[in-house]
Amino acid sequence: MELQKDSIDFNTDYILERKYQFCGHHLCISQSSDAQLGTSNFIWEAGVDLCRYIEKQNLNFKGMKVIELGAGTGILGILAVLLGGNVTITDQPNVLKQIQHNVTASIPMSCRDRVNIRALSWGCDHAQFPSDYDIILGGEIVYYSKTYPLLVSTLQHLSHEKTTIYLSSKLWPDFQIHQFYENILPEHFDCELVNRNEEDNINVYKVIKKSSSSGDQL
């Protein structure tokens, strides 16, 4: 639920501020004025849609070990912290300052010991992270086909067979997004469409790693 229209952040490092309410918690999410952040410098509707799904399904994050991939503004990871999760929020190194700004604005000091902000480059340094996450979150991270194998490798490493992965994507016509969810991801994961936003053409998927006995490990 978006509480108010966009407003200008008086901190000149940030050009936009949006306020949301999910699951009874207030989130204050800003975008950096640094144009070099590229696609990370947006509050993507697919990420907001996944927040709405979390609220609708009343998902339980209490005590869960959670990681958000390609976090951008960090909205999903922030919500997971507010819902009781122990959360690692990740993106490229130059995006971490924006995430930290939003964490500071949205998460009370009493909860910040449950959030960790780290750089993670898919397919490169994912082995520096553990493989025992309970929940993996990704909002609008599937759009560039050259990164698909890197994302799959990263998901393979971070997850085990009891990990639940939630991915949300707008089905942009110029990208091979259907191919990722219908052909590439199912080679290694069971992939279920759990929510469809027809108006905005956004899908939310619940993804579970296939049993290693099936021979699907990379």
Tens digit of each residue's pLDDT (9 = 90 or more) over 2-30: 454 444 344 558 777 899 999 999 999 99
Domain assignment present for residue 143? The answer is: yes
Domain assignment present for residue 149? The answer is: yes
Quote the tokens at residue 191: 């992939």
Instruction: For the chain, give the mean pLDDT.
Output: 90
* Nearest one of 157, 128, 161, 155 to 70, comparing CA atoms: 155
Cβ-based neighbour number of residue 172 at 10 Å? 13
The enclosing domain of 71 has a CATH number of 3.40.50.150
pLDDT single digits (tens) 151-198: 999 999 999 999 999 999 999 887 889 999 999 999 999 999 999 999
pTM of the model: 0.91
**Where do the DSSP E strands lie in the chain?**
14-22, 25-32, 65-68, 86-91, 115-119, 135-139, 164-170, 189-197, 202-209
Could you tell me the residue range of the domain that residue 206 belongs to? 41-211
